[in-house]
């Protein structure tokens, strides 16, 4: 058990869409979580970089506690981290690494387990009732920009780059994470019109 004074380091997210990730050819975005790293005494949020939700041994053996959360903008995730931090301190204070005969695993006091349960409940609340103003939506560029498809006709690459930048800003303002390259989509539409004119 950690008998010394504990102090969790909260690692805040910087980019608005830092929790957003959807790999090519995948139908769903990567799941997100709050992670309490008890060995390194840190608390942060991240997405699972593994397809299929595989977890490292440090999570399997309890040294890193993960709590599922919805994909949200950084400011909301940071507020959630601050809310959870005092509970994370209690988990850390009651944590110890013990040998179970096969592996070094995490062991917790009753108070640490209670705090862990409270963190889980808070994160479950977010999963069930996330504020829509904080939720990130995943949209393919071809769906988001389809209404302006005809505006790409006859445009130069430079003009399309400007359009791409403007539409990315608008999407970000509406918490929309675009799952593909906007410029590539605009160019493909422009070239499609060019081919039709030739034909």
| Domain boundaries, given as residue ranges, for the chain | 9-129, 137-198
Rounded mean pLDDT, 122-126: 96
- The angle that helices 182-198 and 157-173 make with each other, rounded to 10 degrees, is 140
CB 189 within 8 A of CB 149: yes
Give the pLDDT mean for 8-21: 97
Assigned token pair, 119? 């963190």
Given a cut of 80, whether residue 54 has pLDDT beyond it is no
Report the pLDDT value the prediction gives residue 6, as an integer from 0 to 100: 67
Whole-angstrom Cα distance, residue 101 to residue 105?
Answer: 10
pLDDT tens digits for 158-167?
Answer: 999 999 999 8
pTM of the model: 0.87
Q: How confident is the model over 177-188, as a mean pLDDT? A: 94
CA distance 181 to 166: 14
Largest CA distance in the chain: 78
Backbone angles phi, psi at 135, to 5 degrees: -75, 145
DSSP conformation letters of 108-165: E-HHHHHHHHHHHHHHHHHHHH--TTTBPEEE-HHHHSGGGGGGGTT--HHHHHHHHH
Contact between residue 69 and residue 127 where contact means Cβ atoms under 8 Å apart: yes
Do 109 and 1 form a contact (C-beta atoms < 8 A)?
A: yes
- Cα separation, 156 vs 136, whole angstroms: 32
Distance CA 168, CA 71 (A): 19
- Rounded Cα gap, residues 82 and 62, in angstroms: 22
Q: How confident is the model at residue 3 (pLDDT cuts 50, 70, 90)?
A: very low
Determine contact, residues 78/134, Cβ cutoff 8 Å. no
User: Rounded mean pLDDT of 111-138?
Assistant: 96
Is the pLDDT at 199 greater than 80, yes or no?
A: no
């Amino acid at each position: 058990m950690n008998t010394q004074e504990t102090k969790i380091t909260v690692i805040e997210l910087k980019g608005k869409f830092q929790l957003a990730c959807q790999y090519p050819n995948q139908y769903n975005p990567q799941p997100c979580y709050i992670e309490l790293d008890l060995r390194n005494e840190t608390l942060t949020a991240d997405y699972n970089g593994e397809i299929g939700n595989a977890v490292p041994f440090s999570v399997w053996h309890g040294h890193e506690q993960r709590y599922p959360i919805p994909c949200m903008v950084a400011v909301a995730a940071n507020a959630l981290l601050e809310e959870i931090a005092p509970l994370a301190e209690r988990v850390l204070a009651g944590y110890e690494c013990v040998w179970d005969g096969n592996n070094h695993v995490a062991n917790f006091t009753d108070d640490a387990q209670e705090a862990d349960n409270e963190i889980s409940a808070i994160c479950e609340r977010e999963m069930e009732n996330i504020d829509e103003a904080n939720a990130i939506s995943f949209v393919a560029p071809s769906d988001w920009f389809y209404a302006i498809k005809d505006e790409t006709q006859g445009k130069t690459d430079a003009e399309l780059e400007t359009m791409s930048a403007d539409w990315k800003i608008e999407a970000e303002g509406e918490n929309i994470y675009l799952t593909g390259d906007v410029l590539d989509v605009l160019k493909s539409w422009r070239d499609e019109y060019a081919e039709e004119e030739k034909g």
